[in-house]
Amino acid sequence: MHALSLPTWWIHISSVIEWVVAITAVVALGRRRGEGGWRWLALAMVPALGSAMAACTWHLFDNPSDLDGLVVLQAGLTAAGNAALALAAWNLLRQQRTNHG
């Protein structure tokens, strides 16, 4: 745990917690509005959460080269998550235009 300072750890951990809270809020908003597209948006947020957790795990063990696969996993989850979020946002927009159009 020497690789990061305490303030940097605080930022990493609080970001993971914020992302979990955001996913929960998106699900709740979708339920309140009765729009299923919000569930897809929440699901699309999960790869980014996995990416953050991979980064935290790598840092937790002081960034060893033995765990370089976590860096690759993080990159893949970030790319997949960004694509999933873009598709989910487009889907939500499409649904709202159809319903309110």
- Residue 86 within any structural domain of the chain: yes
- Residue 13 placed within a domain: yes
User: What does DSSP assign to residue 36?
Assistant: T
Domain that holds residue 60: 6-100
State the amino acid at position 89 in one-letter form: A
| Residue 81 included in any domain | yes
This prediction's pTM: 0.90
Q: What SS3 state is found at 64?
A: coil
Q: Tell me, yes or no, whether 67 lies in a domain.
A: yes
Residue at 1 is within a domain: no
Q: What pLDDT, on a 0 to 100 scale, did the predictor assign at position 101?
A: 65
Q: What pLDDT score does 99 carry?
A: 84
- Residue 36: inside a domain: yes
**pLDDT tens column, 56-88:** 999 999 999 999 999 999 999 999 999 999 999
Q: Is residue 30 one of the residues assigned to a domain? A: yes
Enter the DSSP assignment of 31. H
* Tally of domains in the chain: 1
- In a domain, residue 18? The reply is yes
Tens of pLDDT, residue by residue over 9-28, are 999 999 999 999 999 999 99
